[in-house]
Chain A
Amino acid sequence: MSAVLDPHGHGAADHGHDHHHGAPHGWKRWVYATNHKDIGTLYLLFAFAMLIIGGVLALLIRAELFQPGLQFVNPELFNQFTTMHGLIMVFGAIMPAFVGFANWMIPLQIGASDMAFARMNNFSFWLMIPAALMLAGSFFMAGGAPAAGWTLYAPLTLQMGPSMDAAIFALHLLGASSIMGSINIIVTILNMRAPGMTLMKMPMFVWTWLITAYLLIAVMPVLAGAITMTLTDRHFGTTFFNPAGGGDPVMYQHIFWFFGHPEVYIMILPAFGIISQIVPAFSRKKLFGYASMVYATSSIAILSFIVWAHHMYTTGMPVTGQLFFMYATMLISVPTGVKVFNWIATMWKGSMTFETPMLFAVGFIFVFTMGGFTGLILSMAPIDLQLQDGYYVVAHFHYVLVAGSLFTMFAGYYYWVPKWTGVMYNETLGKIHFWWTLISFNVTFFPMHFLGLAGMPRRYADYPMQFADFNALASVGAFAFGIAQVFFFFFIVLPTMRGKGEPAPQRPWEAAEGLEWEVPSPAPFHTFETPPKLNKDANRILA
């Protein structure tokens, strides 16, 4: 991101008028940032910082679980680690990272000059800083961080110390930030497309984000409601979820998962979008079934609202409820399957090359599908009775969230970083990062399937000794995975940010399509100040 460190780095003479406006310098450039590229960069750096904090927590968990017995932490602190790992990764790392990609790429891909609401964009980023400080700082409050699990189930939340309130406020702020970000994205996409960029000509990443943004607006207030009720239960004598006053703890779970399940798709749909851009580019072939991809994404989004109680099979639902949620959940595998088939059909009879973005994309399709299949197995209520709240579930959602969302972000980084910074990353190091990440990921999470089948419950600080070997293996894998990401930051991200590396051409990828490749590398501070004239496929600018 030479755009990060050197505001003059975009050097092209025709952008001299940047300076005419008085291009922002120093700290003011970032604090008062209204440029979508700067804000995108801020989001991505913030998300990476949170990824590292959440990752350190994960490694502390794995260190404790390396052997039976408590060697490093007491169970109370252990529960704080699992809770904060979940909250930080979901709300601090994955979601903001995708918003970062959206900020950088959506205006570039639709030929808009910036996001629709530039100052709100600034506000929605800077809101996250106090939220993150409050969340991470809760470790230092009396009684330590919240320890009720990232799902914050009542009535355990009622027993938590003051840090619970800090976490609730932090989630409120992050939710407000997400809603503002979503409104911004929807308005940008619907109002600011270049002439000729019709909805059905938009790049898939833009499509998936449009749908994701609607999901966010629909469910973030639901989460806010649930945690506000928790807050008033804790302090103002209400008993929404407190059984001592006639409240219903299961009601909390219904409300939470009504948010939580669409949330899962919020974290994966933009990933589908990125993959749908990368696979055609490196197959040198158009995306197969563009329209069906759009319909499949929409179907997944709609279905995501009627499957929430599959997280609650063991709460004791009536038989009809269990059947309904089981059928609805199984149905989701149909549109998801369509997506996978479309990607493979795109690769079929292409002319493929395997630069790092493509490696991560193919790795994603392969490993994510495994997570999809374990999801299908979990969706069956009778099998879920064996696996609910155990390590099989942990394996499943890390297969879809790490191998799903995180791998895609790596793919997206490698794909777009030439445009962001104007330099190419080192291909050899990128490949090392991919293989190292892929292998250590599987060493970490594959054994967890066996642990889950054998009955090891999640969120356990200590476990029967029969589980020892697979836990030791998973811990070794986890540390290797962690080191891979440190390597990624120091040897791949930092050099590109400093502008070290081969200068990137305007079109670093032979067959990549889209308007982002119509501007120079690095992308100038201001792009598409006048709406570009587009060709009939809306992927080229007519001179």
Chain B
Amino acid sequence: MMNHILKKLETALLTLAVFGANAAWAVNDLPGGPAVRQLNLHPPVTKIAEEQVWLHWFMLIICTVIFLAVFGVMFYSVWKHRKSVGHKSANFHESVKVEIAWTVVPFIIVILMALPATKAVVASKDTSNAELTIKVTGYQWKWGYDYIKGEGEGIGFISTLDNAQREMSNSGKPEPTDDYLLKVDNPLVVPVGKKIRIITTSNDVIHSFAVNSFGIKQDAIPGFVRDTWFRAEQTGDFRGQCQELCGKEHAYMPIHVKVVTAEEYTAWVAAENKKMAAKQDDPNKVWTLAELTQKGEKVYAANCAACHQATGKALGSVKALDGAAVVLDADASKQINVLLNGQNNAMPAWKQLSDTEIAAVISFTKNNWSNQTGQLVQPADVRAARQ
């Protein structure tokens, strides 16, 4: 009998353990990103973040002490001044002196709190004398990075969430992954120890560019530019996520900043420049269908699959591409127009893609799934449509 009960208990405990392990998702801390069951702010990597962490502790300790003192008094009273222990109520209900005291003392405490905070605000707002300036553009739903001043000037690229992770999210059963929803194709690369000025703006709605370890968070506002800055004091990979609700894929536009040494940065800039030169396709080149669809498949995965899905059948209110009239239409100008200008507020404009990319992705959709039209669109067609 005893054995039987023990067996039962063991099974129950095992089940719990399995559930517990499942709940822990068998993931590890992500350096520069969140840690498992993290309880406090990220370890700071900039002076500003260090100051924020200090300020937070400073506030937390003062608030906790006041909280304990005030509620110590209250619970003492709850304990001692009860009718059930025979306490008779006193008659006082006014005291100007006490009222003045507990107005003035908190006022002084608040001023003391404000002093170090003021210093930190002023420091975080000083974006002058930057060694490298990068423009960050929010798109629905990806980040664009343009190096506009300093070493690497002229480099520009788009950074999107790894599509495999996006699909994992949709499946409802994501594999345990340390950088789940934080992995991008092209991280922002910056040199260590240099003052980096970030200029934010947006192409559509408000986004917010944030990296916790750097202590920065700056809204990216369409039609306006704003700026912030950081100076990373160690190399490594640091993560952030869009912080301002920007539509349905809000949770799927992470930020990955790679901080590298000065030498590595110089090498990266050289490689990037070479890549860009190679990318400069001859705009008048006439592509074959195979070349275009092959390139288009990549463009599709990086930009379109999040909404239209790899199957082309889309989800929810997004329009399916598989079998869509506008895709099948022999007149490609309609589809080019949708890509360049967007449609019905739902489909964003994609004019930031190159002519070749747009031509490739259109050709891809015209010749994939059940859409076997054999039609192809050349970069020159897109260029013509832009004018």
Q: What residues of chain A have their CB less than 8 Å away from a CB belonging to chain B?
A: 68-71, 74-77, 79, 143-144, 147-149, 153, 155-156, 158-160, 243-244, 246-250, 283-292, 314-316, 318-319, 322-323, 326-327, 330-331, 333-335, 337-338, 340-341, 344-354, 362, 365-366, 369-370, 373, 376-377, 380-383, 385-386, 388-390, 450, 453-457, 459-470, 472
Query: Is A465 within 8 A of B174, CB to CB?
Result: yes
| Given contact pairs A289-B93, A326-B117, A337-B106, A350 touches B77 in the complex (Cβ within 8 A) | yes
Additional A-B contacts beyond A453-B38, A468-B25 (4; CB < 8 A): A153-B245, A287-B93, A386-B52, A464-B30
What is the minimal beta-carbon distance from A534 to any residue of chain B, in angstroms? 19
Residues of B within 8 A of A469 (CB): 23-25, 36-37
Could you tell me if B216 and A455 are in contact, using CB atoms closer than 8 angstroms?
no
Decide if B71 touches A366 in the complex (CB within 8 Å): yes
Residue of B nearest to A312 (CB): B219
**Contact present for A352 and B83 (CB under 8 Å):** yes
CB neighbours of A450 from chain B (8 A): 37-40
Find A71's partner among B102, B121, B172 (CB 8 Å cutoff). B172
Contact residues in A for B250 (Cβ distance below 8 Å) = 75, 79, 459-461
Residues of A within 8 A of B248 (CB): 74-76, 79, 147
> Which listed residue, A334, A351, A459, A464, touches B245 by the CB 8 Å rule?
A459
Known: A249-B206, A284-B89, A453-B39. A69 touches B103 (CB 8 A): no
Q: Is the CB of B102 within 8 A of A382?
A: no
Query: Is B124 a contact partner of A466 (Cβ separation < 8 A)?
Result: no
Set of chain A residues within 8 Å of B237, measured between Cβ atoms: none
Across the A-B interface, the 10 shortest Cβ-Cβ residue pairs: A243-B223, A316-B226, A454-B38, A382-B120, A286-B93, A349-B90, A466-B34, A351-B89, A460-B251, A76-B248
In the complex, which residues of chain B have a beta carbon less than 8 angstroms from the beta carbon of A461?
Answer: 250-251
Neighbouring A residues of B122 by C-beta, 8 Å: 319
Q: Are A347 and B81 in contact (CB under 8 A)?
A: yes
Contact of B56 among A156, A337, A377 (CB under 8 A): A377
> A455 with B83: in contact, given A249-B206, A386-B212, A469-B24 (CB under 8 Å)?
no
What would 8 A/B residue contacts be, using CB atoms closer than 8 Å?
A: A75-B248, A79-B250, A289-B94, A377-B56, A382-B120, A386-B215, A389-B244, A459-B250
Known A-B contacts A248-B223, A353-B82; A158 and B59 likewise in contact (beta carbons under 8 Å): no
The smallest beta-carbon distance between B247 and chain A, in angstroms, is: 6
What's the nearest-Cβ distance from chain B to residue A328, in Å?
11
| B interface, size bucket | 35 or more
A147 to B60, CA, bound (A): 35
Q: Are A75 and B206 in contact (CB under 8 A)?
A: no
Q: In the complex, which residue of chain A has the Cβ closest to the Cβ of B100? A: A292
B340 CB → nearest A CB, Å: 15
- The residue of chain B having its C-beta at the shortest distance from the C-beta of A157 within the complex is B205
Chain A residues near B251 (CB, 8 Å)? 75, 457, 460-463
The answer, yes or no, to whether B374 is at the interface (CB within 8 Å) is no
A77–B316 Cα distance when bound, in Å, is 9
Across the interface, do B73 and A348 meet the contact criterion of CB distance under 8 Å?
Answer: yes
Does B169 contact A69, Cβ atoms closer than 8 Å? yes
Query: In the assembly, what is the distance between CA of A386 and CA of B41, in Å?
Result: 8
- Residue among B181, B222, B346 making CB contact with A464, cutoff 8 Å: B181
Question: Chain A contact residues: over half helix, strand or loop, or mixed?
Answer: helix
B27 CB-CB contact with A under 8 Å: yes
Confirm or deny: B84 has a beta carbon within 8 angstroms of a beta carbon on chain A.
Answer: yes
In the complex, what's the smallest C-beta–C-beta distance from B288 to chain A, in angstroms? 38
CB-CB under 8 A from A380, the residues of chain B are: 55, 59, 113, 117
In whole angstroms, how far apart are the Cα atoms of A349 and B74 in the complex?
A: 11
CB of A343 to closest CB in B, whole Å: 8
Q: Which A residues lie within 8 Å of B215 (CB)?
A: 382, 385-386
- The answer to whether A351 and B87 touch across the interface, beta carbons within 8 angstroms, is yes
A352 touches B181 (CB 8 A): no
Expressed in whole angstroms, the minimum distance between the Cβ of B351 and any Cβ of chain A is 13
Known: A386-B215, A466-B30, A470-B37. A148 touches B245 (CB 8 A): yes
B51: chain A residues at CB < 8 Å are 382
Contact among A76, A243, A382 with B317 in the assembled complex (CB-CB below 8 Å)? A76
Residue B271 is within 8 A (CB to CB) of chain A in the complex: no
| Bound Cα distance from A291 to B71, whole angstroms | 23
Question: With a CB–CB cut-off of 8 A, which chain B residues contact A344?
Answer: 70, 73-74, 77
> B33 an interface residue at 8 Å Cβ cutoff?
yes
Residues of chain A contacted by B93 (CB below 8 angstroms): 285-290, 346
A366 to chain B, nearest CB (A): 6
When distances are taken between beta carbons in the complex, the residues of chain B under 8 Å from A248 are 223-224
Chain B 61-82 interface mask (CB, 8 Å, partner A; 1/0)? 0010011001101100110011
A331 near B59 with CB under 8 A, answer no
Residue interface mask B165-182, A partner, CB < 8 A = 1? 000111111101111111
Q: Tell me if B125 and A319 are in contact (CB < 8 A).
A: yes
B178 neighbours in A (Cβ, 8 Å): 465
Are A466 and B38 neighbours in the complex by a CB distance under 8 Å? yes
Q: Tell which of B74, B107, B118, B316 touches A76, judged by Cβ atoms closer than 8 Å.
A: B316
- Chain A residues, CB < 8 A from B91: 285-286
How far does the alpha carbon of A331 sit from the alpha carbon of B35 in the complex, in Å? 35
Q: How far is the CA of A290 from the CA of B95 in the complex (A)?
A: 10
Contacts of B99 in A (CB 8 A): 289, 292, 338
A322 to B90, CA, bound (A): 46
Residue pair A382, B34 in contact (C-beta under 8 Å): no
With contact pairs A156-B247, A385-B124, A386-B215 given, residues A453 and B41 touching in the complex (Cβ less than 8 Å): yes
Q: Kindly list chain A residues whose C-beta atoms are within 8 Å of the C-beta of B133.
A: none
Within 8 A of A (CB), among B249-271: 249-252
Contacting residues of chain B (120-152) with chain A, CB-CB under 8 angstroms: 120-122, 124-125
Across the interface, which residues of A come within 8 angstroms of B206, CB to CB? Answer: 153, 155-156, 249
- By a CB distance below 8 angstroms, the chain B residues around A382 are 48, 51-52, 55, 117, 120-121, 124, 215
Tell me, rounded to whole Å, the shortest Cβ–Cβ distance linking A462 to chain B. Answer: 5
Assembly CA distance A70 to B180 (angstroms): 13
Q: Which residues of A contact B59 (CB under 8 A)?
A: 376-377, 380, 383
Known: A159-B346, A283-B89, A453-B40. A69 touches B174 (CB 8 A): yes
